[in-house]
Amino acid sequence: MTISAGLGIANFPFEDARGFWRWVDVCDNGGVDSLWQSDRIIGGDNNLECMSVMAALAGGTKRLKFGMNVASLGLRDPVVTAKACATIDVLSEGRLLPAFGVGSARSRDYVATGTPTKGRGKRSEEGLEILSRLWSEEQVTMHGEYYQLNEASIAPKPIQRPLPLWVGGSAEQAIKRTAKWGTGWQAGIESPEEVAPVIAAIKARTQDFDRTIDEDHYGAGFGFRFGSPDEPIVVRYLDLLTKRLGKRPEGFVAVGDTPDIMRLLDRFLKAGVHKFVLRPIASGTADMIDQTKRLIDRVLPEIANLNG
């Protein structure tokens, strides 16, 4: 059982593509475990499409693993998605960490793509089955409510056997989907106190399907910044998070120095989390690289010590 820390980005905080790749190189050479790209299609702020980022990282990195945090399977055709993930895993020599959720019914992505929100949970559950089976079985026949396959197969298969299948979501049905098909679970914007009962529920529910999920395959994340809570960028970040959550963002952000980040990380550890997606609170290439280098130099050694 190991504790690992990756970095996540939701928006595109870099001035240009060259800045993005400079940051990726810092992560790739600095011991960061993985990179995670959030999934949003429609919006006025700068966001990269997550599956395209996975394909780019496959060719633009040497060591890093990478995943979606998390991709909305309710919006995507599962057969095409299964093929894309297998392709990316092959070309990266086994470094993809696919992660999927249902997606919010309030997301403008559904309306813009003409995708009904009704039935998205069932569509996603059938989609998870299709992903898992196409990645591992020679032929798949399935007669679902939304998808039908008749002796379908894809080749080449993923390098990783099995290809990880991280699942997001904390509702009862999401817990069931994780227990039935997931090899890992990734929290959303949730505090340690909110994460703990979900992990316990998934562990209990896996017994219904005669399955287990590795202890170090429960993930969560939080925003961090080496600096002061009075910095304008932090004030803006906390204000936006408060509006989104409808409450003060206690347990969602660590601002200060290494001990502040490690204190929040320890709270998540006590809740059962072992895989972390840490999000730099930063703007611009130079700031992103500076925050990332500080994390690499100060926090990653602390995590290595926890692993013994």
With pLDDT > 70 as the criterion, what percentage of the chain qualifies? 100
Overall domain count for the chain: 1
- DSSP letter string, 28-88: HHTT--EEEE----S-SS----HHHHHHHHHHH-SS-EEEES-EEGGGS-HHHHHHHHHHH
The DSSP output letter for 35 is E
Please state, in angstroms and rounded to a whole number, the distance separating the CA atoms of residues 250 and 18. Answer: 35
Is it the case that residue 139 has pLDDT exceeding 80? yes
Give the pLDDT confidence of 78-123 residue by residue, as tens digits. Answer: 999 999 999 999 999 999 999 999 987 778 999 999 999 999 999 9
pLDDT for 57: 98
Q: pLDDT for 216-245, tens place per residue?
A: 999 999 999 999 999 999 999 999 999 988
Domain membership of residue 58 as a residue range: 4-306
CA atoms lying within 13 Å on the CB side of residue 214:
13
Give the residues across from 152 on adjacent strands: 140
What is the model's pTM? 0.95
Angle at 279 between CA 270 and CA 229, to 5 degrees: 90
**Quick one: average pLDDT of 146-174?**
97
Band (pLDDT 50/70/90 cuts) for residue 203 is very high
Q: Is the dihedral of CA 142, 147, 149, 152 positive or negative?
A: negative
Q: Above 80 in pLDDT, residue 1?
A: no
280 neighbors 224 (Cβ within 8 angstroms) = yes
**pLDDT confidence of residue 6:** 98
Instruction: Please state the rounded mean pLDDT for residues 64-77.
Output: 95
- Asked if omega into 162 is within 30° of 0 (cis), the reply is yes
| Other CB atoms within 10 Å distance of the CB of residue 42 | 12
Structure token digits, residue 114: 């003409």
Instruction: List, in sequence order, every residue forming a beta bridge with 222; answer none if it has no partner.
Output: 278
pLDDT value for 8: 97
What pLDDT does 179 receive?
Answer: 97
The answer to whether the CB of 37 falls within 8 A of the CB of 60 is no
Asked if residue 200 has pLDDT above 80, the reply is: yes
Q: Is the pLDDT of residue 54 over 80?
A: yes
Per-residue pLDDT at 145 exceeds 80: yes
Q: Which amino acid is at 267?
A: R
Mean pLDDT of the chain: 96
pLDDT for residue 232 = 97
Q: Tell whether the model's pLDDT for residue 172 goes beyond 90.
A: yes
Please say if the pLDDT value at position 56 is more than 80.
Answer: yes
Beta bridge partner(s), residue 8 = 36
The one-letter amino acid at 159: I
Query: Phi/psi zone of residue 153: left (φ > 0), alpha (ψ -120 to 50 degrees), beta?
Result: beta
How far is it, in rounded angstroms, from Cα 145 to Cα 232? 50
Q: What is the pLDDT of residues 251-287, one digit of tens each?
A: 999 999 999 999 999 999 999 999 999 999 999 999 9
CATH number, position 152: 3.20.20.30
Burial class (CB in 10 A: 0-12, 13-18, 19+), 115: middle
